[in-house]
Amino acid sequence: MPWFGMLGQQASSQSLVRWRRLSPPLVLRPRRGAHMAQTSAATRRCLADPRRPCLGANWRCGGLGCHFFEDGAILLSDAVPLEAVDALRHQLKIGPAPRPVREVPTREVLALTASTTPPQEPSTGRRHFLLRGTVLAEESLVPLLAPLMPLVLRFFEEFRPDAAPGRLLQGAIGAEERPPRLFLSECQLLISDPGAVPQMWHRDNLMPGLTIVLPVSEVTSELGPTELLPGTQHLLRGAGGLGSCFRSLGRAGGALAPAPLRPGEALLFDARLLHRGLGNRSYSNCRVVVVMRLDMLDTTPPGATVAQTTVARIFGKLLQGLSYAYGFLPVPAAATTFDK
């Protein structure tokens, strides 16, 4: 059975049964040992109605994820067992969380993956180790997706109605009748060294897909978190998507860079969303995250031409400028008894 079949079976047969007996969490950051129960409840609320606020009005990221399908992003607290994160940090020889990461030598990662292929460096100070298909990915990283699979399947049910969850995990006998299949298109260890420059605005795919960011080290605003422009996936619909895009941007207050992003949390966003990694302004600490992407076999990433990538970068800069100007607009004062 393929890995996504096992994940879906595990999520449907174990996690969902347990979730029916849980009440919604009262807090977003429970004690250390309660990660699975709290994450399950939060995800269950999103599954019930992803268009309703699922994390509450007092969520620390200021609205990101309150409307997952409309805004295109959500942050789940305690989505990954901290024991699994500590095990990965031990393999990388960077010490247990929450200790800051000073350095991750390339030779250590290559030795761990039994590879001689150097990491990709698309921009200064940013190293991308491609792990898909390695023993490290199959045994340590891919299983971390299991608690998130119900939400993943609901996402693809919404945006790929031709590939319902029941069909995502099954193949037809005839090749001509085979439904679109869900697959792991990317699994990488991303390290932003001190002094790393910001990325350009871009999309991971022009078609529906999910990007999942799992922090291995705590990502503060200084270390260069992922910056998102909520609602920008609607721009791919043309003029008809402008209203939805600006509603999401207005609801979020402009561009968002969720920080701090702590080990155990999971940032999920639509592959069509405009985003970028900010620069690492630290002089001594690294940003270490695991990035996994889920796509359909008939819409493999990136699906964009050079011209479309350039347009996305320009739109990102323009919307970033508008978000910056929006922050200086006066905020209406709350009504008082003297106003009545």
CB 178 within 8 A of CB 171: yes
Residue (of 282, 278, 273) closest to 258 by Cα position:
278
| 104: Cα within 13 Å, side-chain hemisphere | 32
Structure tokens at 42: 């939060």
- Sheet with 287-296, side-by-side order of all strands: 73-76, 266-270, 210-215, 287-296, 182-192, 126-130
For the chain, the domains span 3-171+179-328
Can you give the pLDDT of all 340 residues of the chain as single tens digits?
444 444 444 444 333 222 222 222 222 232 333 333 333 444 444 444 444 444 333 233 333 445 888 899 999 988 888 999 999 999 988 888 778 898 999 998 998 888 878 899 999 999 999 999 899 999 999 999 998 998 898 899 888 887 755 554 454 445 555 677 889 999 999 999 999 999 999 999 999 999 999 999 999 999 999 999 999 999 998 888 888 988 888 888 888 898 889 999 999 999 999 999 999 999 999 999 999 999 998 888 888 888 989 998 998 899 888 877 777 777 655 544 444 4
Structure tokens at 27: 């807090």
pTM: 0.77
pLDDT at 48: 45
pLDDT at 117: 84
Q: Which residues contact 126 (CB under 8 A, 6 or more apart)?
A: 190, 191, 192, 193, 196, 197, 199, 277
Beta bridge partner(s), residue 275: 202, 228
pLDDT at 284: 92
CA distances from 68 to 149, 197, 299, 311 (A): 15, 29, 21, 25
Span 3-171+179-328: which CATH code?
A: 2.60.120.620
